[in-house]
A and B are shown apart, each in its own frame.
Chain A
Amino acid sequence: MARILDEGMVEKRGIGHYFTHVGLIIGVLVIFFPIWLAFVASTVTQSDIISPPMPLWPGDQFLTNYSKALTSGINAPVALMLMNSLIMAMGIALGKILISLLSAFAIVYFKFPGRRLFFWLIFLTLMLPVEVRIVPTYEVVAGFGMLNSYSGLIFPLIASATATFLFRQFFMTVPDELAEAARVDGARPMRFFWDILLPMSRTNIAALFVILFIYGWNQYLWPLLITTDPSMNTIVMGIKQMFPSGDDYADWPVIMATSILAMLPPVIVVVSMQRLFIRGLVDSEK
Chain B
Amino acid sequence: MLEDSPPPPPYRPNRRAVLGGLLGAAGALALSGCGSLGGKPRVREWNLFGGGDGARLLEIHKQYVAEHPNVQFEAHTLAWGPPFYTKLAMSAAGGRAPEVATLHLSRLKGFSPTTLLDPIPVDLLNEAGINESDFLPASWNRAMVDGKLYAVPLDTHPFVLYYNTDICKKAGLLGPDGKIKPVKGVDAFVDMLKAAKDVTGKYGASIETTNPWRMWWTLYGQLEGKFFNEDGTQLILDDAKALEALDLMAKLAADGLVPRSANYPALVAQFSSGDVGLSFNGEWEVTTYQTAKMPFSMAPFPVVYDVPKYAGDAHTFVLPHQANRSKDDTKATIEYIAWMLKHSAEWAAGGHIPAYQPVVTSQEYLDLKPQAEYRSVAPDVFFDPDAWFSGSGAQLQNEAGAAFSGVFSGQSTPKAALAQFKAATQTLLDTPSPV
**Do A and B bind?**
no
